[in-house]
Structure 1
Amino acid sequence: MSKYKEIAEKVLGNVGGASNVDQAWHCITRLRFNLHDKGKVDMESIKRIDGVLGAQFSGDQFQVIVGNKVSDVFAELEPMVEGGGSGSGGEKKGEKQGIVSATMDFISGVFTPILPALAGAGLLKGFLALFVTLGWMNNAGDTYAILNAIGDSVFYFLPFFLAVSAARKVKTNEYLALIIAGTLMYPTFIDAANGITDVTSFSIFGLSFISIPVLNYSSSVVPIILAVLLLKYVYNAVKKVIPSVVSLMFSPMITFLIVLPITLWLIGPLGTNLGEGLSTIFVYLFDVAGPVAGLLLGGFMPLIIMTGMHYAFVPIAIQNINNNGTDTFLQPMMFISNLAQAGASFGVAVRSKNKAMKQLAVSSGISAMIGITEPAMYGVNMKLKKPFIYAMISSGILGAFAGWYGFKAFALGGLVGVFSIPVFADPSGATAPLVIALILFVLSLVIPFILTMVFGFKDIPEEGQKEEAPAATDEKKESAGVTGTQTQTVVQSPLKGELVPLKDLSDPTFAQEIMGKGIAIEPSENHIVAPVSGTVMVLPDSQHAIGIKGDNGEEILIHIGIDTVSLKGQHFNALVKAEDRIEVGQKLIEFDREAIKAANIQTVTMIIVTNTPDYLDVLSINDSGPVFEGEQLLTLVR
């Protein structure tokens, strides 16, 4: 079995199987799912799959972050979900999807399948502009005309591509959707819009109140998407009333006679105005408050990318290029942000003493420099925290400069990184935009690299490594009596949530560290996993706590909630038993946070080193803020 097929099978099994998949597709780095019942997802098992960088819900869309090989994994996954994942089965369970979440999910589902076409064609147009700028090609010659036609074709005929993609997303007939696109792009309307004919408007069915305006729908985005949505509901309604014996012919014809006049009369103009309105707003923001807009969008772009919301900006960027010939916000800010993640990752590669981390940081940095940032963000920078912050600070500062200067892209280029530099070349041959792009390229890499090197980060020690105690403070080192020959044991976080210092707890037994040193976590999920590998020493019948003896002699108590012993096991489900061998990351106990809170009992969970006297010190990595399952939590110094 190939590695990619193994990943696909494990992912599919942990999202509830093919029958739970409504839709599946992929973008550049992520597998994306719409699921019937998101409660069937085993998030933590998916995160532990070799080859998976992370997993998350973005609205009701479930995303599995795979990285550069996502297309290979999806090629194995796609035949597994056909039939069971066709989306023909029932409604999704769980909460109704909010309008913002539904909109983001829809836009992502429509645009991600056509990104390869947009990226390839856009990059070709970018190289053409670069060649003109460098004097290697004449923009009035035949070669330029032919290559420009190849690069421009997908944008000119964009309604056709969106018709197919949108029809697949909403599960209606793709060929009927293509009829709508073909009508919008028919020469009768295009010639009138371009002034080739003298027609200024059209009427239909002799109805004087219906006046169809003359508009050019080439390169348009919103009109065809809204028209396909209307097609879905009209076609389904028509099929219900037309006898099946003649439905094949009459249902499409009647659908066309309803949908296309409404589209040409109302939806087309409405969609055109909506798209142009959104484009105008973003252009205005960068014209009037360019530095502020660049600071915010550049600085927070990594967080936007993490949620997948950057795809929501794609139609606006396309509309900007269609209206003004340039993209003033999406690609310029992603260019800076992606390279900043690469620069921070390269800084980690130089400064880290962990050989595995060095190798990961180099490969992830190269990937981010190309335009695929998830490996660098999830595998390196976010894991070490500070490099991620340095990258955001750098991209915010450079984004402010780019917004002030008016840095812009002249084509849509797909992966935004080193190979997208040509899209920032002006097709007119002006050299300044290309020079600014090269300067920002260098600064975006260098600034976070320097910040990472100068200010550092909390390195992850290699397993069994002997080194100095954690670089918390000199006072802590002295109080712990740490020397360069002392060893450390790392305790991982058994759950996801918010850190709470023991001294802030209401239970004096834990607050006064009577049972030992440690940290508490207010959980945001309903299970705990093993923080170390070892053996289950204690598991009471109430199942609210578990005692573990680690392979290095550490004794860890995980106590879920305060006074939860009074529940007598209610709302708890232990997945292991006393004397069981357990491995780090293995799920130990499931519990119902909401039910425990409803019983007026605190759910804050304590992680205590009960044999604290055996160690020089027990140090927590952080005292507050969020913590993720599997993240380094405590360091035990001997």
Structure 2
Amino acid sequence: MKYQSFNEEIIRLVGGKENIQAVVHCMTRLRFTLKDRTKANTEELKALDGVIDVVSNNVAYQVIIGTHVSEVHAELISMLGLTPSSDEESKIKEKKNPLKAAMDLLSETMTPVIEPIIASGLLAGFLSLFSITGLISVDSPTYQLLDSIRSAVFFFLPIFIAMSCAKRLKASPYLAVALAVTLVSSSINDVSGLSIFGIQLPQIVYANSFIPIILAVWFMGQLTVLLKKYVPKFLQYFLNPLLIMVICLPVTLLIFGPIGIWIGDGIGWFFEVLHNTFGSWIVVMLYAAFQPFLIMLGAGNFMMPLALNFVNKMGYDPIFLAAATISDLAVSGAMLGYFLRAKDSKQKQLFGTVSFSALMGVTEPAIYGAFIKFRRPFIAVMIGGGLGGLFAGLTNVKTYSIVWGLMGLPSYADNQDFSNLVFMIISVVIGFVTATISAYLLGIPQDEKETQTKDLSKETVPEKNSQLKKVPLNSVVEGNVVPLAEINDQAFSTGALGKGIGIVPTDAQIVAPVSGEVSAVFPTKHAIGIKTEQGIEVLIHIGIDTVELDGRHFDTIVEQGAMIERGQLLSTVDFAEIQKEGYDPTVIIVVTNTTDYLDVIPAAKESVFTDDECLTVIL
């Protein structure tokens, strides 16, 4: 058996045969369902020769192998005493921890809503700055009109939340918005003396809130599934929307509204006790130090609901938004330290770019593009962010608007609180400078694999007279381009599977980016491999975690071994249905043997058509 010793090590490092409930494979990775994940030695498994990376999330415990994973899997299930069919039948979905599931939902729901929140928060900051400097009077019509953007965004927050979380909770976005609009209407919002079916309703402010509408939309999703099951199909189009609204509104007013307020009050009480017992400084310090880890785990936005709750209840956030800003600036400082330390021009360009991005409040490119690879910047941010957060916590810095990042600093002077602004600026400077110095002193670790690749590349540089120097790869689908570092899958975003690009599709047809042989078609039809005559190995991965759809919504018409031409139709995909089931439709195209070539360069375009070049492989 070709991979026997390799599989023996994998079995040992995931906790032994007795710890494995099931194991299936995707296009590039083994997906384990483990009885106890704590028994798995993840770090040692990551270091195992032949393993690209290990990703542990709520989907599965995933060991990324590469495109030859099917061969590894075939031997692995044989060693485990399974067969491919029995393995598929025994596939067990792990149950989500309820708390983690709730936090995931909050984080995913807040992500699309952040855009209007950032706009309104930054506007509040600049208006505060303009009023302080006397450029605009608070009583002027101009100020009041511009400030209406901020007030409207937060007043109608339940509507944004309803639209954002409806699809994830199997509810109609339009019915969810209709319910949210009803809750914030003048006939219900903060109205006393209301009753329904003879039952008195408490006076509740639904504007600015988020927990009641999330609970209500969850109930709407459950009710939608139930009605589709029991209401005759010929009546569903007319009857289901009416039943959903007539049932959901009373249930929300009687149950979810009060529960949401209790939860909000409970969160406030918890942090009040924490503040009175230990001081909020410890939370500010820890969050500023460890935010990059939360972003890497996909939980970077979990603090947003907590910050919103603070602002709604207290008029300011004493913890999270200031800590997030300090952490972002510390990330920028760490990358500046690497920029100053780096000698290679490509590295300098990378560190300089991601440092500026983090300075503007977008840290994902730095975290996925540099932190995961070099790891030492995490330590620099823990030092710089921790010290900056400690100072902010001890001086009781308050964030008066839902805003973070460098551009939001003027908002800290709201209510004429100039000392608050000064303390925040000092905190940010501490975090930035300390992280810069720490990263510079920690240095850039030497990547042996990268060095070997560079040496090999120097030997294989084509001569000036060589006719073939590059191979262009066309887009596989029409859509909007997404940088690989921003894709919501760590195996791709870190570049572990090779360089490439992501495309958010606006068309249903997947076509061949280059001529060659179809080297693989995954049974669930969500991934296709192509090998060109030059030996370039291209992986087309349609959607994220869409292996779980088991081929639904995919109509793949090519088979393994087929010879194809550039632009030839490979598959037709119903992306609307994929999104309805809660999956990210982003199509990813990567060159899995990137290290065999001088470089793989993504095209600098915001959108592409199928005849547009999206990648260039330098031979």
Same fold (TM over 0.5): yes
Aligned to 1:127: 126
Q: Judge conservation of contact 2:333–2:433 (CA < 8 Å) in 1.
A: yes
Distance in 1 (CA, whole Å) between partners of 2:382 and 2:132 is 32
Which of 408, 413, 423 pairs up with 1:436? 423
Distance in 2 (CA, whole Å) between partners of 1:38 and 1:286 is 47
Larger Rg: 1
Partner SS, residue 364 of structure 1: helix
Distance in 2 (CA, whole Å) between partners of 1:421 and 1:168 is 35
Instruction: Give the superposed CA RMSD.
Output: 3.8
Distance in 2 (CA, whole Å) between partners of 1:109 and 1:39 is 26
List aligned pairs for 1:87-486, cutoff 5 A: 94-190=93-189, 192=191, 199=192, 201-206=193-198, 210-286=199-275, 288-413=278-403, 416-426=404-414, 428-459=415-446
Distance in 1 (CA, whole Å) between partners of 2:313 and 2:266 is 11
CA 1:423–1:42 in 2, change beyond 3 Å: closer, same or farther? farther
User: Deviation at 1:257?
Assistant: 2.8
Distance in 2 (CA, whole Å) between partners of 1:459 and 1:307 is 25
Q: Judge conservation of contact 2:387–2:431 (CA < 8 Å) in 1.
A: no
The amino acid of 1:347's aligned partner reads: G
Q: Judge conservation of contact 2:285–2:323 (CA < 8 Å) in 1.
A: no
Asked if residue 40 in structure 1 is aligned to residue 26 in structure 2, the reply is yes
Partner SS, residue 425 of structure 1: helix
Deviations 1:370-390 (A, max 9, x none): 112233233334433333312
TM-score (structure 2 length as normaliser) = 0.57
Structure 1, unaligned stretches of length 5 or more? 1-36, 45-53, 64-91, 193-198, 466-486, 491-524, 531-580, 587-628, 631-638
CA 1:248–1:460 in 2, change beyond 3 Å: closer, same or farther? closer
CA 1:351–1:242 in 2, change beyond 3 Å: closer, same or farther? closer
Distance in 2 (CA, whole Å) between partners of 1:182 and 1:329 is 31
CA 1:118–1:231 in 2, change beyond 3 Å: closer, same or farther? same
Q: Judge conservation of contact 1:223–1:270 (CA < 8 Å) in 2.
A: yes
User: Deviation at 1:488?
Assistant: 9.7
Distance in 1 (CA, whole Å) between partners of 2:234 and 2:366 is 58
User: Deviation at 1:302?
Assistant: 1.6
User: Deviation at 1:458?
Assistant: 3.2
User: Deviation at 1:142?
Assistant: 1.5
Distance in 1 (CA, whole Å) between partners of 2:449 and 2:26 is 35
Partner SS, residue 303 of structure 1: helix
User: Deviation at 1:462?
Assistant: 11
Q: Judge conservation of contact 1:38–1:93 (CA < 8 Å) in 2.
A: no
Q: Judge conservation of contact 1:158–1:219 (CA < 8 Å) in 2.
A: yes
User: Deviation at 1:269?
Assistant: 0.7
Distance in 2 (CA, whole Å) between partners of 1:228 and 1:94 is 24
User: Deviation at 1:464?
Assistant: 6.9
Partner SS, residue 370 of structure 2: helix
Give the share of equivalent positions with the same residue, in percent: 33
Distance in 1 (CA, whole Å) between partners of 2:172 and 2:272 is 36
Of stretches 97-106 and 260-269 in structure 1, the one that deviates more from structure 2 is: 97-106
Structure 2, unaligned stretches of length 5 or more? 1-22, 31-52, 63-90, 458-490, 497-533, 540-591, 594-619
Q: Judge conservation of contact 1:134–1:429 (CA < 8 Å) in 2.
A: no
Deviations 1:55-105 (A, max 9, x none): 955423999xxxxxxxxxxxxxxxxxxxxxxxxxxxx96323332332233
User: Deviation at 1:283?
Assistant: 4.6
The amino acid of 2:137's aligned partner reads: N
The amino acid of 1:334's aligned partner reads: A
Distance in 2 (CA, whole Å) between partners of 1:463 and 1:165 is 41
CA 1:96–1:118 in 2, change beyond 3 Å: closer, same or farther? same
Q: Judge conservation of contact 2:170–2:224 (CA < 8 Å) in 1.
A: no
User: Deviation at 1:310?
Assistant: 2.5
User: Deviation at 1:424?
Assistant: 2.5
The amino acid of 2:426's aligned partner reads: I
TM-score (structure 1 length as normaliser) = 0.56
Deviations 1:287-321 (A, max 9, x none): 54223222222222221121121322211111111
CA 1:395–1:464 in 2, change beyond 3 Å: closer, same or farther? closer
Q: Judge conservation of contact 1:155–1:219 (CA < 8 Å) in 2.
A: yes
Deviations 1:18-64 (A, max 9, x none): xxxxxxxxxxxxxxxxxxx99425269xxxxxxxxx9955423999x
User: Deviation at 1:220?
Assistant: 0.5
Distance in 1 (CA, whole Å) between partners of 2:251 and 2:319 is 33
Q: How many residues align?
A: 397
Deviations 1:429-466 (A, max 9, x none): 2222222232223222211222233454535589779x
Deviations 1:546-572 (A, max 9, x none): xxxxxxxxxxxxxxxxxxxxxxxxxxx
Distance in 1 (CA, whole Å) between partners of 2:335 and 2:172 is 46
Distance in 2 (CA, whole Å) between partners of 1:462 and 1:166 is 43
Aligned to 1:484: none
CA 1:274–1:393 in 2, change beyond 3 Å: closer, same or farther? same
The amino acid of 2:127's aligned partner reads: L
The amino acid of 1:450's aligned partner reads: I
Partner SS, residue 137 of structure 2: coil
The amino acid of 1:252's aligned partner reads: P
CA 1:223–1:41 in 2, change beyond 3 Å: closer, same or farther? farther
Aligned to 1:34: none
Distance in 2 (CA, whole Å) between partners of 1:137 and 1:462 is 58
The amino acid of 2:358's aligned partner reads: A
Distance in 1 (CA, whole Å) between partners of 2:165 and 2:60 is 16
Partner SS, residue 219 of structure 2: helix
User: Deviation at 1:157?
Assistant: 0.6
Distance in 1 (CA, whole Å) between partners of 2:311 and 2:422 is 21
CA 1:149–1:450 in 2, change beyond 3 Å: closer, same or farther? same
Of stretches 383-392 and 393-402 in structure 1, the one that deviates more from structure 2 is: 383-392
CA 1:452–1:250 in 2, change beyond 3 Å: closer, same or farther? closer
Partner SS, residue 194 of structure 2: strand
Partner SS, residue 205 of structure 2: coil
Distance in 2 (CA, whole Å) between partners of 1:249 and 1:377 is 49
Q: Judge conservation of contact 2:397–2:423 (CA < 8 Å) in 1.
A: yes
Q: Judge conservation of contact 2:190–2:203 (CA < 8 Å) in 1.
A: no
CA 1:257–1:382 in 2, change beyond 3 Å: closer, same or farther? closer
Aligned to 2:544: none
